[in-house]
Amino acid sequence: MAFSEVTRERARQIIARYPEGRSRSALLPLLHLVQSEQGYVSPEGIAFCAEVLDITKAQVGAVATFYTMYKRKPTGDYLVSVCTNTMCGVLGGDKAFEALRDYLGVDHDETSSDGKITLEHAECLAACDYAPVMTVNYEFFDQITEDSALTLVKQLQNGERPQPTRGTRLCTLKEMAVQLAGFADDRGDDVIADGPAGEPTLAGNRLAERFGIAVPGFDPETPITKKAEEAPKPTETLPKAASDGKPAGDGPLPQKKEEAKP
Amino acid sequence: MTDVVPKVDTVKLTIDGIEVEAPKGALVIRAAEQIGISIPRFCDHPLLAPAGACRQCLVDVEGQRKPVASCTQPVAEGMVVRTQMTSEVAKKAQEGIMEFLLINHPLDCPVCDKGGECPLQNQAMSNGQSESRFVEHKREYPKPLPISTQVLLDRERCVLCQRCTRFSDEIAGDKFIDLMERSSNEQIGVFRGNPESPEDDAPFNSYYSGNTIQICPVGALTSAQYRFRARPFDLVSTPNACEHCAAGCDQRADHRRGKVMRRLAGDDAAVNEEWNCDKGRFAFQYTQATDRLTKPLVRDRKTGELREASWPEALTVAAAGLAAAKDNGGVGVLTGGRLTVEDAFAYSKFARVALGTNDIDFRARPLSGEETEFLGSSVAGRVDVTYADIERAGAVVFVGLEPEEECPIIFLRARKTYLKRGLASYAVAPFVSRGFEKLGATVILTTPGAEAEVLGESEQLREALSADGAILFVGERLASVEGGLSTAARIAEETGAKLAWVPRRAGDRGAVEAGALPTLLPGGRPVYDPAARSEVAAAWQLDAGVLPSASGRDTDAIIAAAKAGQLGALLVGGVDPADLADPQAAEQALDAVGFVVSLELRLSVVAKRADVVLPIAPAVEKTGSYVNWEGRVRPFGTVLKTAAMSDARVLDALGRELGLELGVGDVAAARTQLAALAELPLPGTAEAGTALRGSVRVAVPTVAAGAAAAPTSGQAVLASWHHLLDNGSLQDGDGHLAGTARTPVARISKSTAADLGVADGDAVTVGTGRGAITLPALVTDMVDGVVWVPTNSPGSTLRRTLGVAEGALVEISTGGTKS
Ligand code: FES
Ligand code: FES
């Protein structure tokens, strides 16, 4: 097998992190590890994971094909993920994605011919407050526009490494995969911890404060309780859940026949 | 042994207004079944862990906000459950789920193998809506996807219940299939790598894969062998017992227009539960082989060739030849291990009464005199160990037996118990086979030949066998280990462990009971015991002195005598010389002996050398019983009514030709006769037998443990067993099945490989003076100086090519051309 001794040694370290008999749990980091060497999870990478964990290739394949972070085709140095989920989509994410698609001549989950950029549209990246967002190798670029997205990608193609809006400076996707496999970030001092919540994040709070909107009786200091203890009794005024006393699936009316498209 | 029924804690609940008492922890779906209420389901299977994957079984439980999956919900005291029978909520929920499941289902029932016996089809009718609200284009996949050569997958039909993946994980331990992809692309699949290198793919090559076809509740998994060959409603189903190995699986044979179309696992909780192995399921086409015999053959005096003959002519010639030989050296009888117990009894009686000899042996494999004694002392008439005992055992020890390869249902039971409560398994074997690995077995790596020594001296094994209910399983292979069976009997006695002898073939144990052995009469009666002989003589209404009193010759001795010209004739059942310790000697014996009568299904090596060939019926064309390794009678009826006659009927006719009324031609009569002598609860024989009444039992053999052969440089000790799927003639005719056989390899240890200078995949040649086998090496964690090759697989026909048995010294070298 073509995997380097470095990778093999790292695999041993990863497996050693898990209690005896539970080595299967090491599969997720191991998949990142093989990706860090080959840029994607190749059939060979799957076989490697199966071999070191002593599980079947089907079991590895099942996991590798479930998570979208594991790529199944060779990738470029930079994975450009544009959020096209609802919030970002309407705020310009869709447009930015299209612009990149036209410029690079590749579609979702494809790599540009120069081998530098892999483009994908992503589901919600959990940064709706900075929408529209995109990430490069999972580092955030906030409030993008078509133009800023294009400029960014061109810079990447030119070998520049623009600074993400938050987080640290960029590394390659393979280097990122090493970190995702659980090995220390060697970007040293450049690593910037997430600062305090930014203005867009707090915008909702501020509006609520200004207009005196609050959840009735909600104490922000409330400790998080276990399910059993908590379970607030639904008050009579709350609308009943659909399944309460009503047959499940009793949702919208059936589609009318004439609306049906052939 | 009386089973103490443990007291079960129960709870009371109400289902559809009916009060039910169910065991604590039982699932609601099972409790409903108790009172005859069937909740629709797909993923639920009583022998698999609950999954709650399909949501079809939703019921309304009082106090729960949402409908609850009854296949994952345990019962509770006072629970009030309403199913689709009394609850609109449940009914509507089930209809909703059914509608979801059918969104992408192609509804191609008219061209689907499952149509007519499909839980999805049936339950869509009984618990679904007649109209779907979904009008969108359905998802399509290329189809079918072969996940092995014998299992085909039509992904668009799948409802992702995961019965197949759960079976392969929980039961077989062969996790070669899994849920791949995600979301709307989620699908069952095997590992497929690079399209350019399909050899890296990992297909569903499990010995039990056929079960997934049977438990698939839709038509997603179908059998390559059966696909598009019949509709369930055109098939006639007959309960059937498997003729392949000593496990004794209950099966069902479905036939149409005189041909068996498929076989399914039967449901016998005491034996195979609801599973079988792929050999039992798929290997049945041998009866339609082109060389199947339907007419008797007689060797023409003028041409010296076999020609077709009428039954009367063939019987006359056979009878005359046997009668002449009887007084001129005698007749040796080799019956083979594939007979029903009724047929074996017929041979046993025919040999003694018609031929006046005890020269009869069923064993068509390496054997020993020690084994002959052991079969009398510790096997015949004993029903000490059952499948259920495995589930209760404190530990199990396997010697000379690889359960997955040689008795797959023992393997399944042991694995079930291993997963359930960590049953400790031990094995004395040259390496940790896949089966042993899946049992989590502690394997004492042993050079073939040294098993007896290890078993006799290992403190670890002694301790294991002293555990409560411990079982010592010994395979038929232990016969070729000097002192193996003696040691097993002694250790079992000393530790109190139960002892179970597991032969490989379906007819072996029955043949022991029926007395198809040189030293045993029916019911385990020793030939040498006058009381035993007089019991049998009385039962058979024979005059004193008719029954031969001298112990007979075993298979090897019969062959040696025939070869040396000391025997007048051989009467041979289904025996393939290639299975014997020395096939060459067997063929020479057949050539040397003056007269050969062959009772055969196909024009075999023996039939070709015979003077008279009498065609007999395969298992599906006759009625009879096997006795499995437990000693349990496995009766079966005729599946296909043909003119073919059982061995017993042919022998009966032959007897009549000799002026004898053996009365074994009719199955019922044979059973009555046999049941009078042996303790076998055969169908229709109310009277329990009188086995060993007033007669002695053969003494336990006390052969001292031998040592393994010591290889010198360039030599190795031979280790071997049969792969479950191999060149066995009963597997002929099914390429789909053969495609899932394990690849033949030569296993050697690291240091043996280093000595030879070979790595994995390099050719290794194993040879004797007679021939050589060349196989790719597989470096294995095993004893040094040993080479393991499969006994009878493509490219590895051990006995025929090498003429030696396990434990022998062989030359081992690198590469070499294939002989
Ligand atoms: S929608 Fe884009 S980050 Fe949430
Ligand atoms: S049968 Fe209950 S969820 Fe499938």
Percent of chain B with pLDDT over 90: 92
Residue B169: closest CA among chain A residues belongs to which residue?
A: A59
Token duo for residue B647: 């061995």
What pLDDT does A189 receive? 55
Provide CB contacts within 8 A for B124, sequence distance 6+.
Answer: B98, B102
What pLDDT does A224 receive? 67
Q: Is A87 in the pocket of ligand 1 (CB under 6 A)?
A: yes
Report phi then psi at B95, rounded to 5.
Answer: -65, -40
> Measured between alpha carbons, how far is A168 from A28 in angstroms, rounded to an integer?
24
- Angstrom CA distances, B224 to A56, B143, B736, B739, stand at 24, 13, 7, 11
pLDDT per position as a tens digit, B336-368:
999 999 999 999 999 999 999 999 999 999 999
What pLDDT does B151 receive? 97
Ramachandran bin of B400, using left for φ above 0, alpha for ψ from -120 to 50, beta for the remaining angles: left
How far does the CA of residue A198 sit from the closest CA of chain B (Å)?
34
Q: Which atom of ligand 1 is nearest to the CA of A122?
A: 2
Our CA angle for B676, B624, B243, nearest 5°, is 130
Domain segments of chain A as ranges: 5-64, 78-172
* Whether the predicted pLDDT of A254 surpasses 80: no
What pLDDT does B4 receive? 61
What pLDDT does A223 receive? 74
Q: Which atom of ligand 1 is nearest to the CA of A127?
A: 3
E strands, chain A, are 78-83, 110-111, 117-122, 134-136, 139-141
What pLDDT does A184 receive? 81
pTM (two decimals) = 0.91
Inter-chain CB proximity B191 and A55 less than 8 Å: no
* Whether the predicted pLDDT of A259 surpasses 50: no
b/e string for B616-647 if b means 16 or more Cβ within 10 A? bbbbbbbbbbbbbbbbbbbbbebbbeeebbbb
> Measured between alpha carbons, how far is B324 from B329 in angstroms, rounded to an integer?
9
What pLDDT does A188 receive? 59
Ranked by mean pLDDT, the top range of B460-469, B533-542, B543-552 is: B460-469
User: Which residues in chain B have their CB less than 8 angstroms from residue A55's CB?
Assistant: 175
Secondary-structure breakdown of chain A: helix, strand, coil percentages, each rounded to the nearest 5: 45, 10, 50
Q: Looking only at Cα atoms, what is the longest distance across chain B?
A: 91
Mean pLDDT lowest for which of A235-244, B116-125, B499-508?
A235-244
What pLDDT does B5 receive? 64
* Whether the predicted pLDDT of A231 surpasses 70: no
Outline where B11-109 has alpha helix (H): 28-34, 88-101
Provide the β-strand partners of residue B499: B472
What is the average per-residue pLDDT within B164-176? Answer: 96
Give me the DSSP letters along B753-816: HHHHT--TTSEEEEE-SS-EEEEEEEE-SB-TTEEE--SEETTEEHHHHH---TT-EEEEEE--
- Angstrom CA distances, B131 to A70, A255, B125, B283, stand at 41, 12, 11, 42
Burial grade of B561 (CB within 10 A; 0-12, 13-18, 19 or more): buried
What pLDDT does A256 receive? 39
Mutation target to probe the A interface, by most A beta carbons within 10 A, among B89, B176, B197 is B89
What pLDDT does A234 receive? 42
**Tokens 């033949």 map to which residue?**
B744
* Whether the predicted pLDDT of B618 surpasses 70: yes
Q: Cα dihedral sign for A177, A178, A182, A184?
A: negative
What pLDDT does B242 receive? 97
Q: Write the residue in B89, B190, B191 that is nearest to A248 by C-beta.
A: B89
Higher confidence at residue B543 or residue A235?
B543
Q: Which atom of ligand 1 is nearest to the CA of A93?
A: 2
* Whether the predicted pLDDT of B592 surpasses 50: yes
CB-CB contact of B815 with B800 (8 Å): no
Q: What domains lie within chain B, and their CATH numbers?
A: 10-101 (3.10.20.740), 315-365+516-675 (3.40.50.740), 372-502 (3.40.228.10), 715-814 (2.40.40.20)
- The CATH number of A78-172, from 3.40.50.2300, 3.40.30.10, 3.40.50.300, 3.40.1190.20, is 3.40.30.10
What pLDDT does A192 receive? 57
Question: Which residues of B touch chain A, with CB atoms under 8 Å apart?
Answer: 58, 65-67, 88-89, 91-93, 95-96, 99, 133, 135, 174-182, 189-194, 197, 200, 202
Q: Cα dihedral sign for B71, B252, B507, B276?
A: negative
Provide CB contacts within 8 A for B360, sequence distance 6+.
Answer: B332, B333, B334, B335, B347, B348, B351, B352, B515, B516, B517, B518, B552
* Amino acid letter, A187: R
pLDDT per position as a tens digit, B38-86:
999 999 999 999 999 999 999 999 999 999 999 999 999 999 999 999 9
What is the average per-residue pLDDT within B26-47? Answer: 97
Q: Write the residue in A56, A65, A243 that is nearest to B202 by C-beta.
A: A56
Provide the β-strand partners of residue B752: none
What is the average pLDDT value for chain B, to the nearest integer? 94
What is the average per-residue pLDDT within A107-120? Answer: 96
Mutation target to probe the A interface, by most A beta carbons within 10 A, among B97, B191, B200, B781 is B191
Grade residue A167 by pLDDT with cuts at 50, 70 and 90. Answer: confident
* Whether the predicted pLDDT of A247 surpasses 90: no
* Whether the predicted pLDDT of A249 surpasses 60: no
Grade residue B715 by pLDDT with cuts at 50, 70 and 90. Answer: very high
Among A84, A88, A91, A142, residue to substitute to test ligand 1 (most atoms within 8 Å of Cβ): A88
Question: Residue A144 CA: which ligand is closest?
Answer: 1
Mean pLDDT lowest for which of A66-70, B595-599, B677-681?
B677-681
Inter-chain CB proximity B93 and A57 less than 8 Å: no
* Amino acid letter, B538: A
b/e string for B37-69 if b means 16 or more Cβ within 10 A? bebbbbbbbebbebbebbbbbbbbbeeeeebbb
pLDDT per position as a tens digit, B221-253:
999 999 999 999 999 999 999 999 999 999 999
* Whether the predicted pLDDT of B642 surpasses 80: yes
Provide the β-strand partners of residue B179: B188
User: Which residues in chain A have their CB less than 8 angstroms from residue B67's CB?
Assistant: 243, 248
CA proximity to A120, closest of A110, A132, A130? A110
> Measured between alpha carbons, how far is B616 from B654 in angstroms, rounded to an integer?
13
Token duo for residue B330: 């005698």
CA proximity to B211, closest of B288, B124, B121, B148? B148
Inter-chain CB proximity A61 and B133 less than 8 Å: no
Whether the CB of A46 is below 8 Å from some CB of chain B: the reply is yes
Q: Are the folds of A5-64 and A78-172 the same?
A: no
Residue A156 CB: number of other CB atoms within 10 A? 21
> Measured between alpha carbons, how far is B759 from B745 in angstroms, rounded to an integer?
12
Topology adopted by domain A5-64: Arc Repressor Mutant, subunit A (1.10.10)
